[in-house]
Amino acid sequence: MVKAARHITSTVLGLLAPMTVSGEVIHEPLWVENLSPLAQLVALPSQRSADIKEGLSVSVHTDIATHFVSQASERERVFFDGETQKHSVNLRWGLSPQWELSAHLSSIKHDGGFVDSYVNRWHDFFGMSDGGRSTLPEDQIRFQFDGVEQQTLLDRPVSGQSDSRLELSYVAERQQALQIAYAVGYKASNGSSERWLGSGAEDLYGVARFSGAHQGDLPLYWHGQFGVTRAGESALLGAQQKDWLWFTGLSAEWLLNDRWSLIAQLDSHSALMKSDVDAVGETAGILSLGLRRQLGRQWALDVSFAEDIVVESAPDIIFQASLHFRP
């Protein structure tokens, strides 16, 4: 037992100790998706590097999002109270230096969760408004949207496979200071719309991505994207759904040393619906801050959190972790 404890301790200290990494390491944006109960149904892909590596790259992501929204207009009402856990695997096959095929597979769990008390303390500590969250029972689930022509409700824990995505990317420009890639993607409808795990419709999207590095003394890497989505008709979103959506983002990674870096990121997308309720009728904005640990030339670990800087357009807070492998 003592030997095992010493071995575990030495392994952890070895990971945390400063090390010199020779050659190229992993530079990727944070994996950020809007996990608001309705926004997560639509194909609004996360940022990613424009660069392509031949061979198989794998990223594994875990997200825990906590929701609280209570808004109403004369004809509509949105009430989200609960937690979403999403576990994802992103596979990228570099077919050549210019072409890449990727697949995104994920599962989702909606339930009452366990983080309400911590979020309430977070709001109290920073003197932030909780929108009435603390007046309701903790760790309950109720996702409700009463639209102009439809009513949808989820009031029980559910879990299962969510909608999968396929994407084909082409690198149009590759220089030391700038890479430019274009991609087209397809979202399937294999997640259950009755359990809010999928939209029940197929989506198509196109996106331009940019990646680069500062050419001076600043140890700065950056990424950006802009794209449009053609969303299929979803019974959950109803007649107020917008068919065309835009999405965009910008990410900056500051290298602290050979192993550690800080990442700041902004993500945004257009409103999901033609609605008077801000939670679904206004442009979404998410700010993420993260820390990356290089685990050698081929592996990296990210931990981060995301906040809805456009209030109630995204979850209250998202806790994230990602493990990357690139050849």
Tokens coding 80: 């989200």
Q: What is the DSSP letter of 63?
A: E
pTM: 0.87
Q: Residue 111: which of 133, 83, 134 has the closest Cα?
A: 83
Distances (CA, A) of 119 to 110, 131, 135, 144, 161: 17, 12, 13, 21, 27
Quick one: CA dihedral 51, 304, 226, 57, positive or negative?
positive
| 8 A C-beta contact, residue 67 and residue 36 | yes
Bridge partners for 229 per DSSP: 205, 245
- Whether 21 maps to a domain, the answer reads no
First vs last C-alpha separation in the chain = 36
- Whether 174 maps to a domain, the answer reads yes
Mark out the alpha helices in 111-174 (DSSP H runs).
116-126
- Whether 302 maps to a domain, the answer reads yes
At 34, the amino acid letter reads: N
d(CA 169, CA 219): 27
What's the pLDDT score for residue 136? Answer: 64
- Whether 15 maps to a domain, the answer reads no
pLDDT tens-place values along the chain, 327 residues long:
444 444 433 443 344 444 444 446 789 999 999 999 999 999 999 999 999 999 999 999 999 999 999 999 989 999 999 999 999 999 999 999 999 999 999 999 999 987 666 666 766 666 665 566 666 666 789 999 998 888 999 999 999 999 999 999 999 998 878 999 999 999 999 999 999 999 999 999 999 999 998 867 788 999 999 999 999 999 999 999 999 999 999 999 999 998 999 999 999 999 999 999 999 999 999 999 999 999 988 999 999 999 999 999 999 899 999 999 987
Q: Residue 67: which of 321, 319, 320, 317 has the closest Cα?
A: 317
| 8 A C-beta contact, residue 327 and residue 54 | yes
- Whether 64 maps to a domain, the answer reads yes
Tens-digit pLDDT profile for residues 257-272? 989 999 999 999 999 9
R_g (Cα) of the chain, nearest Å:
20
| 8 A C-beta contact, residue 326 and residue 51 | no
- Per the listing, tokens 């309720």 go with 277
Distances (CA, A) of 158 to 61, 68, 108, 132, 134: 20, 18, 8, 25, 24
- Whether 116 maps to a domain, the answer reads yes
What's the pLDDT score for residue 120? Answer: 63
Judged by DSSP in three states, 231 sits in coil
Quick one: CA dihedral 260, 264, 270, 272, positive or negative?
positive
Instruction: Give residue 178's domain range.
Output: 29-325
- Whether 210 maps to a domain, the answer reads yes
d(CA 54, CA 249): 25
CB neighbour list of residue 276: distance below 8 Å, 6 or more residues apart: 73, 74, 75, 76
Residue 15: its H or E element:
helix 2-16
Q: What is the CATH number of the domain that holds 233?
A: 2.40.160.40
Q: What angle do CA 132, 39, 205 make, to 5 degrees?
A: 160
d(CA 322, CA 327): 17
Tokens coding 81: 């109270």
Tokens coding 13: 């200290």
- Whether 222 maps to a domain, the answer reads yes
d(CA 193, CA 211): 35
Q: How many domains does the chain have?
A: 1
